[in-house]
Structure 1
């Protein structure tokens, strides 16, 4: 018998015993028999207080359980994905107020930022200085993408991270090894002739995360773009080969 279903009739009966309906008195009588009590005001009030204390104890236990589950989840997130851990902390501490901006307003604001070209100074003096300093270092060998390199790069990717436009998560690439030789050949072709790379390869899905409690303004959002897993896979392979070359020739500064 649920506690609240017992508390309700007893509470109604003790407030007005004389004016209680036959159905209510019958219900209270059954409750008293189930608890081996004689029907009188003192016994019913004692039972009512005990039931309320039980509910209070169960509520406290439930709150402790929820805190323990939340703490366990936070510890796990901190160990596996610290970026997600800190993002969730920020989200929990920010209660959004107001409505988000209109889609057209959001696109107008961010299109101006994303469409603006950056002109980098390729003739900076420090670049020429670095070229002179590293003249004796051999040129990096050409990257040959193999199925084994694809497999190793996949181990560095999270299984269920949000995918890009293709909607394929890393878990499926990992567990279909027959695709690894095909991916290696496609990656190799992309390195030789980047123009043959399909357009979707570098296209992502952008999610706008609010930075504060005023989401009406488009500038108060942080864009997070999710690119296809195969894009991350190729860049991971390239990054690993470049890092190997830098370490081999002691180009990177030691920490």
Structure 2
């Protein structure tokens, strides 16, 4: 392959290893679609086979029969739509194998070690790729037995879509992460180049007459300490706050900073465990019996029937990319994978009849937000818990 490449491109100097690494990189980065790859493969394989045959085999004279000659001279009619059909079948087969691999990987991965699925850019191609697995998910969802298995299937489908699009899922939450193939020094240089390009662009905008505050602020920061003065005068009368509510809140409440010593993790866990995990014996007064006797005459509520339309409406109102729970599944995937609404409606209907909910629905990620200056006191933090999206969908119906 290296010899053929040197003959085609004699001006380029490429090593054998570098040329061999280009093939998996092109396939992994989705530079060419499946139709283009299949067309190039059909063009390359026969030619290489003929070259190898011409070089290795000795020339021989073979007498052909009349039937073979007639068959070779017979014109063949080829349908122009065959290429598109083959490419589409190859693309669907690749998507099906990627989906199966991602679902199997998700089922074998602990909940806390799932990768973080990134946000998908809004485009027509991405929207088509996201909706393409819907027919393939029907088989998996029909075999789902509970909400935990349905969650694993949906997360595996989301992970497969990210791999097909080319968006890399973050492995920060994994127990054992793989090192990146790009060296650290190269990433640092690329970051510096990107920052320099952004600064040059803002300098060009300022030079062309763009005097927006953000542009001027960037230019002043770039020229700080260089004895360079800008021709634009400072505006003495400025509106420092545009949000009236936030201004009054900042005046009434002092600004909090978490620069002090952090609280001890063991003390924090012990404090909140005492509030959440310890059983409490409530004293039931006589008023509870009065309320119970008054509720006897009330008409019982009609049984709630959850339909797929109810699930679709509950998912539609939810934000796309709000912080998920420990499962890592965003509402966006529940909106796009519309085939899951029927299965979720059926499993939501059965959930209240069970004695206990799965641990997936009752496990969340709690963030402690500082609300006072006492950073070492665990009671001075406000707990904010991110719960799974499936549980939020169930409670919003």
Q: Does 1:125 align with 2:286?
A: yes
What is the CA distance between 1:226 and its match in structure 2? 1.3
Separation (CA, whole Å) in 2 of partners of 1:114 and 1:97: 28
Which residue in the other structure is 2:392 paired with? 232
Which residue in the other structure is 1:105 paired with? 267
Match of 1:114 among 262, 269, 276: 276
Structure 1: 4+ residue segments shifted above 4 A:
1-5, 7-10, 86-92
Deviation track 1:121-156 (CA, whole Å, cap 9, x = no partner) reads 4x5322322233233321112222211221222244
What is the CA distance between 1:167 and its match in structure 2? 1.2
3-state SS of paired residue (1:225): strand
Which residue in the other structure is 2:256 paired with? 94
3-state SS of paired residue (2:351): helix
What is the CA distance between 1:172 and its match in structure 2? 2.2
Q: Aligned-pair RMSD on alpha carbons?
A: 3.7
Residues 197-236 of structure 1: pairs in structure 2 closer than 5 A: 197-236=357-396
Structure 1 residues 145 and 209 mapped into 2: Cα distance closer, same or farther (>3 Å)?
same
Separation (CA, whole Å) in 1 of partners of 2:304 and 2:378: 42
TM-score normalised by the chain length of structure 1:
0.57
Structure 1 residues 102 and 140 mapped into 2: Cα distance closer, same or farther (>3 Å)?
same
Residues 61-100 of structure 1: pairs in structure 2 closer than 5 A: 67-68=241-242, 71=243, 93-100=255-262
Q: Which runs of 5+ in 1 are unaligned?
A: 11-50, 79-85, 238-255
Between 91-100 and 158-167, report the one with greater CA deviation.
91-100
Which residue in the other structure is 1:187 paired with? 348
What is the CA distance between 1:225 and its match in structure 2? 1.3
Q: Does 1:160 align with 2:292?
A: no
Structure showing the higher helix proportion among its residues: 1
Separation (CA, whole Å) in 2 of partners of 1:160 and 1:228: 12
3-state SS of paired residue (2:234): helix
Which residue in the other structure is 1:56 paired with? 234
3-state SS of paired residue (2:297): coil
Residues 7-22 of structure 1: pairs in structure 2 closer than 5 A: none
Aligned length: 177
3-state SS of paired residue (2:290): helix
